[in-house]
Structure 1
């Protein structure tokens, strides 16, 4: 049996996924979580073979969750299942160690097959998104992305500097670079553009 943990903040979607996967003879849903922190706790406790997670969740995003799982329990494979058909999100998911990336409108049989493939050591990527991901590469450096993410959350330049252990001048430089690369008027617009493209 392949032991699966589901992380999804919408109870109806989580319940439907659990019911559909439970119909498969070789899959067992061993746990469910409604937010990223609860999912991380459940992964630590249950040590599933495969974690199926949404991207946008309270307390810890699916991408941050995947990164933490890879660092702490690298034997647990991660599949992202999301409504975001954006190449930037797929690239980020692969960068943080996800082995699968599927859209929520995919048939249930496709998710079950993806779980089997990922459990066996392969990858399961939505084919249409795969090409788009490499065509839509982020122009942002990792530091620019970090600074922009902090700015998106409403942090001041001083707060970003303290949190990322940078000088305020360096933070302003990173923000300026990001704004310029994205053709934005200000940090808010730059963050919105990056979020829409799946780069944050």
Structure 2
């Protein structure tokens, strides 16, 4: 059981947002922001460097170097006692399931009132699951991601500008197999082009 204020790490790639979140949480008498991170890797390192460890990591989803969902999984694997509360600007329903699968215990949006954010930190520190109601409804409405892991991987490489030949060489598949994965992803997303498939999957939070 935590003695003293809850120790929180705030991870967000936007310095002004990160600073504002930290300042808001530091106003709470029972919460102390012990570190800030600008990307997922820094967040994992901040937790690893903490003595004692943080109680909660407030983790943005979209960050460079290492995204928040990947960082969440890394934190939970190394420090299972640390709770992760995901935070995002974008209410993409696919993010919710991916974050929960990675070990997050909560998911809130950045435009939530500051008092709700502080209460969410307190609740996840106690092991309670906290998910923004609107996001929860959208996630249930949209259902699980229909794409296979390989289709997700291929679409991410398409999003990075890879050609069929580049993707095939990079992941050790034949070009025909890569085309089949793209075609399947287009069918599942209802897209007419591979670029549209990337956009629709991104908007849904599946990539």
TM norm. shorter chain > 0.5: yes
Say how many residue pairs are matched: 200
Give distance in 1, aligned partners of 2:177 and 2:128: 41
Provide Cα deviations, 1:25-68, integer angstroms capped at 9, x if missing partner.
22111100112222222122123111101111121111121122
Tell me if 1:145 matches 2:152. yes
Q: Partner of 1:3: helix, strand, or coil?
A: strand
C-alpha RMSD of the superposition: 1.6
**Contact map agreement 1:147 1:175 (CA 8 A) in 2:** yes
- In structure 1, what is the equivalent of residue 76 of structure 2? 70
- In structure 1, what is the equivalent of residue 141 of structure 2? 135
Match of 1:29 among 19, 28, 33: 33
- Structure 1 residue 3, shift from structure 2 partner: 0.8
Which residues in structure 2 correspond to 1:8-157 (within 5 Å)? 8-46=12-50, 47-137=53-143, 138-157=145-164
Gaps of 5+ in 1: none
TM-score (norm 2): 0.89
- Structure 1 residue 163, shift from structure 2 partner: 4.1
Give distance in 1, aligned partners of 2:100 and 2:107: 8
Gaps of 5+ in 2: none
The verdict on how the C-alpha distance between 1:96 and 1:160 changes in structure 2, with shifts beyond 3 A counting, is farther
Tell me if 1:185 matches 2:192. yes
TM-score (norm 1): 0.92
- Structure 1 residue 124, shift from structure 2 partner: 0.9
